[in-house]
Structure 1
Amino acid sequence: MPKNIPLINREISWLSFNDRVLQEAADKTVPLVERIRFLAIFSSNLDEFYRVRVATLSRLSNLNTKSKEIFGYNPRKTLNQIKTIVVRQERKFNHLYEDDIVKELERQKIFIINEKQMNVSRGQFVREYFRNKVLSTLVPVMIDKDAPFPQLKDRAIYFFVKMTKNKNKEKHKFALIEIPTDGSNRFIVLPETNNLKFITLIDDIVRYCLDDIFFIFDYDSIEAYSIQLTRDAELDLDRHVSEKFIDALSKSLQKRGKGKPMRLLYDTDMPLDMLTHLVAELDLSADGLIPGNRYHNFKDFISFPNVRGPELEFPKIAPLPVSNLSSVTSLFAQIAKRDFLINLPYQSFDYIIHFLREAAIDPKVKEINITLYRLAENSRVIHALINAAKNGKKVNCLLELKARFDEQANIYWTNRLEDEGIEVNYGMLDYKVHSKICLVGRMEKGKMVYYANLATGNFNEKTASLYCDHSLFTSNPLITKELVKLFDGLQKKVFYRGFQNLIVSPLESRQKIYDLIDAEIKIAKSGTPAYIILKMNSLTDEDMVSKLYDANNAGVKINLIIRGMCCLVPGVQGYSENIEAISIVDRFLEHARVWIFGNKGDEKVFLSSADLMARNLDHRVEVGFPILDPAVKSEIRDIIDIQLKDNSKAREINQLNNNRYKKNKLKTENRAQIDTYTYLKYKK
């Protein structure tokens, strides 16, 4: 591991990324309902951060006093830094919601009203709604000081309730109520008046009707404050279980809801005595106590209803056709002649579905091999594979059961596939299979010919409409022959070396990327201009950062486009003065991984499923693949150039972590996602 090189702590860098999401919520040029959705994304991101990264840091901080010596940083100090940043971000979040977005909604004649703002008619509507649809779902739990405190579910919303007899303030009762929320059902649109729109939350309906719940008790006042507990979501799997792995994983998933408490988000209006009681019962550390507003699980606001009009949301965009690729004639016949690139979400994921459906019914197709990581809820990919099996094709499916937070869904799909007679490979016990590859074998003129789809994103039609990814169709034997070898290894659960064109983790990616960087270093030292352009989600591997610093010092010009975490520090004299880094956060999630190496003008271009993180390089099965078709290579280069010119949604990554927008050095305004759509729309 490199010593004494400039690095940004990965957790702090991640929080900086989430702050960029918050910037989108603050951007008044973003449609109003979309701003609310960015708040929801920020909140959802932070939940996962606490469930995974903060949970891991907490474990490390409890190991021993030598944790800094072992890990290169002090986990306890990092936890304190996280607490400071998160509290600041939560204040910004609350200000944005309460003082900006709510007021803007009111200017649009949309009112989010709470239990104290009900008039007689709306109050009657709410009480009837509560009694008919909500009351029967509630299970109040009375808190007995002589009994154990109730087990709180991970990320569920609860009301902590206090009933007081005013004549004797020492005489009070505590209770807990879990609030039933599942996204869209959290919002209730009330009858409008004079074109005024009214929305309330299920939370406030429960608050309004507390008397209907606790009517049997003698009290003079009743108050309820929302809380949300986030637990450690990392899975502890016994590597030596004798049971079938899928059963072991299912049992481990059941433990996730009972993990160690990591964060208590609480309503800042909660009285101190109630908060003190909670903290004592939950055994929380100070850095896990986060003040918030009255509404938790803000991720549900991703489904906030647009009750006014389409101008409050991003305009719909129609997926573009891929130039010269017809979906009404055989895709195999077209791919046999040249490679094709699908640029998601600008172009339709339906091309991938058509590819699988054609394979399912084509008499010449004999086998389909595919790796699956995250799937849509009602996956058309799975349906196509089942159809292929019913048509007598041999379907080999590697479905990664350890895809975090998708484990349960993937267990379900595994059972569905196996019920249809499809051979399902659960992956490697110690390695996640994160590659996104599909290989179809077709008998042509007495020999097997292979057609492939390789991608930077999942075979998931839902995320394909939200994530920016690249998906390549090819029949080039330089790639397909190596995919045959790769799938053979996956079936046998062994790792092969010696790929000439593919860049495969965990055995070869690191060294092959080093070799590509070293080639640019050699070019720069010879006096010829050398450059590297890397686009990815995260750059956190310290050895890779050190190698890029070496390239910088040799005179290699480096441009980075990194959406999320970036531990490399650009602009440091003697390390990174030739390195520029930007992050683009906009309507769609930038998810593609693209590597470009100058190579004396004959550029080498690769797409990959891997970020430059230790886990992707050394502990996962990842596939990087070269772009060999000149037209496709040119198209990718054009799109990257568009992103490098972005001066609307691109932020600088720098030492200050201040997310400063990239300065507009041009007279024109360039917004990469809009410009990419326009480029593809008019491209011949």
Structure 2
Amino acid sequence: MSPNTDKLSIDKELSWLSFNERVLQEACDPNVPLVERVRFLGIFSNNMDEFFRVRVAAVRRSILLSSLQEGRSNSRHLMAKIQSKVMALQERFDGIYTDLMRELVRRNILLINEKQLSEFHSDWLKKHFRDQFKRHIAPLIVNNNRDLIKQINDDATYLCVCLFTKARRQYALVEVPTKNVPRFIELPAEKSKAKKYLILLDNIIRHCVDELFGPFFEYDAIEVYSMKLTRDADFDITDELEQTQLEKMTKGLKKRLTAEPVRLVYDKEMPEHMLVMLKENLNISSTECLIPGGRYHSFKDFIAFPNPSRDYLENEKLPALNSAGFGRSANSFDAIRMGDIMLNYPYHKFSHFTEMVRQAAYDPAVRFIRINLYRVAKKSHVMQSLIDAVKNGKQVTAVIELRARFDEQSNIEWTRILAEAGVKVHHGITSLKVHSKLCLIGREEQGEIKLYCHVGSGNFNEGTARVYTDLSLFTANQEIAREVEQVFDLIEHPYRRDNFQHLIVSPYDARQKLSHLIDNEIVNAQSHMKAAITLKLNNLLDESLVQKLYEASAAGVKIKLLIRGMCSLIPQIPGISDNIEVYSIVDRFLEHSRVMLFHAGGENKLFICSADWMSRNIDNRVEVSVPIYDLCLKQMIMDILSLQFNDNTKARVINKEQSNPYRNRGNKRKVRSQIAIYQYLINYEKRQLQDFNALRMSAHEGDAERESNAEPDITPELQAKAS
């Protein structure tokens, strides 16, 4: 079968917008605690910012390229669809925001503006502004000598100010300094302590704008309106042989500061003269870039919306669990040697990983640490442990990916810190991003080097580990560990070629092995054997692999997909994808783990992966999938997958129309998979702990029995004491 894939796929940009609509559904859901609903508006807005910086920018480049080549392009048609969908979502967003503000008022939480301030709050704010905020504000004065586009940050909200006199207009831009000051300020209690007042930093600046300009400018009137610029986040890295990759990335980041604007969002009440000034100074000619909006921008800050009132307005806390596996010994390496350990974040404590690296930093038996890093926390315990390891004479190698989008500057800074500390830093392969999640520790035991390794689906980031669902395998399986070592060798010496018997490694053998695994299910289905594929991914876009799934479905393979984000595959097409079900879960935690399960004639081949099924992950990145051999861990992951595919509370059905219907519960009991997984893991860890304690007690009893039956060793010292 060779269907026309153009008619059997959804544009990735439209699929992405469908995902963000699911985020907006959470903000609309009355069963979600009120403050969390407001925060989902922030997540939606943050996602949309990135969408314009990356996806829309790419479509605009495609349109420009097509016009230069005088060729026909579908990009204009796609852009029209994007604009239509974005406007519809924005309108829905505005309505939800209004409803949520009313709900907050009913709960005695008032988000007020500068015109609603009492005299008491007005005086308090002016003093607070002078004492705390003004030091972080330096207005940009607009004049012909300043290239304004080079001065504007595209992740910030600005207040556009116009100072009027009878003779002229003077414009200025004031950046809302959210990097230094919280966006939301809670005002002190006044008469009624039951009412909680919040005000946006934007409105504090509006209220105190005369304190900024009054001492230096004469004006008769003043106008203030908000705006936000979004730039193309991509940039070219010039391939100059004399430059290191670090130098190229640093140069590329500077280019991003002056990149082409892809969106100017502005207050729709902004007067025409002010909008014209912005268009002229920011070199915006296309009306496609202009998005009229409300009074406030950078809604991403609503992710941190405070809860000044009752606990029930937020999600109930789910304390992260201790791992019984790591509880087997105070020494992390002894614990791993006793058997493979699987952590499931954020349900498990990420500190088990940081503790392992901390111990490796001073363990006298550890000889080397190798780790690859994609995104790390600003205050990273992992990085500090690597530095401590160097101080203790360990050989430490860190592969830092400089091209982790929007984390480039952070990774450049970490490169400098680690290199100065003596860590051997690599930046991978010029043409390939290193996206695998590997850590390898070599330990001398009984005169030989024994390897301990971590292979996972998520970053070594203490911050995101609290909200992203991810899987981490810790193993002392020497065959797997040696293959992890081979991956590090390939990154440092890309001209080498190795064969992997256990791991699936992009770009070396992933496409071939994945196709083989699917083909095996097709053969089994054609032989009237049970055949099934279960995938949990962030994104499914690779055209060739989608085609293979269509082929498998047509052959009778039962396919179940859990895709959080973009999915170009269309399920339930008669004769093509009848056997494919696709669901997406959006809930309090961001689904980030990647799992592949192939029935394989009852063998149930299961892998956890760093890679999505996108062409870039299969062909243009270093990615690693690891098989799970431990039967207990394999069953645990299969049980969790079962809970997720039975979710009838937060699961949406992915269909051709991209309408995001919630899964029909029918007469079945309510299943909310993220809560069910937490309860499952509580019980799982209890059983593991009980089994370990029983084993330890049995071992102690055996030792005691052997001691009672054994002849005592009479040493000279004992003999002397006895006499």
Do Structure 1 and Structure 2 share a fold, with TM-score over 0.5? yes
Other structure's SS at 1:128 match: helix
Please state if 1:254 is matched with 2:254.
yes
Structure 1 CA distance, aligned partners of 2:352 and 2:17? 36
2:182 is aligned with what amino acid?
N
Contact between 2:329 and 2:335, CA under 8 Å: does it hold in 1? no
Displacement over 6 Å in runs of 4+: 66-70
- 2:275 aligns to what? 275
Residue correspondence of structure 1 range 488-507 to structure 2 within 5 A: 488-494=489-495, 496-507=497-508
Residues 263-315 of structure 1, C-alpha deviations (whole Å, 9 max, x = no match): 01111222344334433443142222222221111111222222112222112
* Alignment-derived partner of residue 202 in structure 1: 201
* Percent of residue pairs identical: 44
Paired residues of 2:133 and 2:181 also in contact (CA < 8 A): no
The equivalent residue for 1:609 is 610
Q: Quick check: 60-69 or 616-625, which moved more?
A: 60-69
1:175 to 2:172 alignment: yes
Contact preservation (8 Å) 1:161, 1:176: yes
Residue 22 of structure 2 aligns to which amino acid in structure 1? R
Paired position in structure 1 for 2:296: 295
Distance 1:213 1:322, change over 3 A: closer
Q: CA deviation at 1:162?
A: 3.0
The structure-2 alpha-carbon separation of the partners of 1:665 and 1:532, relative to structure 1 and needing over 3 Å to count, comes to farther
Report the alpha carbon displacement of residue 363 of structure 1 after superposing the two structures with TM.
2.1
Q: How much does 1:328 deviate?
A: 4.7
Partner Cα distance (2:308, 2:172) in 1? 35
1:665 aligns with 2:666: yes
State the SS of the aligned residue for 1:673.
helix
**Structure 2: segments with no counterpart, 5+ residues:** 688-723
Aligned runs of 1:241-640 on 2, under 5 Å? 241-282=241-282, 283-326=284-327, 328-494=329-495, 496-640=497-641
Distance across 2 between alignment mates of 1:74 and 1:318:
49
Hey, what's the Cα distance between the residues in 2 that align with 1:91 and 1:458? Answer: 35
Aligned-partner SS, 2:338: coil
State whether residues 325 and 336 of structure 2, in contact with CA within 8 Å, keep that contact through their aligned partners in structure 1.
no
What SS is found at the alignment partner of 2:578? coil
Match of 1:185 in 2: 182
Find the aligned partners of 1:621 and 1:13 in 2 and give their Cα distance.
25
Q: Does 1:12 align with 2:9?
A: no
Give the C-alpha shift of residue 508 in structure 1.
Answer: 0.8
- Report the CA distance shift for 1:321/1:217 in structure 2 as closer, same or farther (over 3 A): closer
> Residue 440 of structure 1: SS of its match in structure 2?
strand
Structure number with greater Rg is 2
Shift of 1:656: 0.8
Matches within 5 A, 1:39-54: 39-54=41-56
Deviates more, 1:372-381 or 1:74-83: 74-83
Unaligned runs of 5+ in 1: none
Distance 1:291 1:508 in 2: 48
**Deviations 1:634-653 (CA, angstroms, capped at 9, x unpaired):** 01100000000000101111
CA displacement 1:452-503 (0-9 Å, x = unmatched):
1110001111111111011001111231121222222222233524211110
> Secondary structure of the equivalent of 1:85?
helix
C-alpha displacement of 1:69: 7.8
Letter in 2 for 1:390: K
Q: Kindly tell me: are residues 159 and 246 of structure 1, through their superposed partners in 2, closer, same or farther at Cα, counting changes over 3 Å?
A: same
- Aligned to 2:125, the other structure's residue is in SS state helix
Question: In structure 2, what is the Cα distance between the partners aligned to 1:401 and 1:303?
Answer: 28
Contact 1:68 1:75 in 2 (8 A): no
Instruction: Report if the CA contact (8 A) 1:495-1:507 is conserved.
Output: no
**Partner letter of residue 185 of structure 2?**
I
**Counterpart amino acid of residue 37 in structure 1:** R
Superposed, which structure 2 residues align to 1:634-649 within 5 Å?
A: 634-649=635-650
The yes-or-no answer on 1:139 pairing with 2:141 is no
Q: 1:214 to 1:333 in 2, by over 3 A?
A: closer
1:550 CA displacement: 0.5
Aligned partner of 1:205: which letter?
Answer: I
- Measured in 2, the distance between the counterparts of 1:375 and 1:406 equals 9
TM-score, L = length of structure 2: 0.90
Q: In the alignment, what sits opposite 1:113? A: 112
Cα displacement (A) at 1:5:
4.4
2:121 maps to amino acid: R
Q: TM-score, normalised by structure 1?
A: 0.95
| Superposed CA offset, 1:589-612 (max 9, x none) | 100010000112221001110000
Alignment deviations for residues 152-199 of structure 1 (CA, whole Å, 9 cap, x no partner): 32132112223446xx7x954433222222276222211222111111
CA contact (8 A) 2:340 2:474 kept: yes
Count of residues paired in the alignment: 678
Question: In the alignment, which residue of structure 1 is the partner of 2:90?
Answer: 90
Matched residue type, 1:472: L
Instruction: Tell me: CA distance 1:4–1:276, structure 2 relative to 1, closer, same or farther (3 Å).
Output: same
Deviation at 1:441, TM superposition (A): 1.5
Shift in alpha-carbon separation, 1:150–1:608, aligned structure 2, 3 A: closer
The aligned counterpart of 1:81 is 81
Which deviates further from its counterpart, 435-444 or 511-520?
435-444
For the structure 1 residues 321 and 251, does the alpha-carbon distance in structure 2 shift closer, same or farther, using more than 3 Å as the test? Answer: same
Q: State the partner residue of 2:704.
A: none
How far residue 36 of structure 1 moved from its aligned partner, in angstroms, is 1.6
Root mean square deviation, CA, Å: 2.1
Partner Cα separation in structure 2 for residue 546 and residue 49 of structure 1: 26
Amino acid across the alignment from 2:198: I
Give me the whole-angstrom Cα distance separating, in 2, the residues matched to 1:287 and 1:115: 32
**Which deviations, in whole Å up to 9, do the C-alpha atoms of 1:392-430 show, x marking residues without a partner?**
221121111111111111112112221221111111111
Cα separation, 2, equivalents of 1:68 and 1:88:
32
Amino acid at match of 2:95: H
Cα distance in 1 for residues equivalent to 2:674 and 2:107: 28
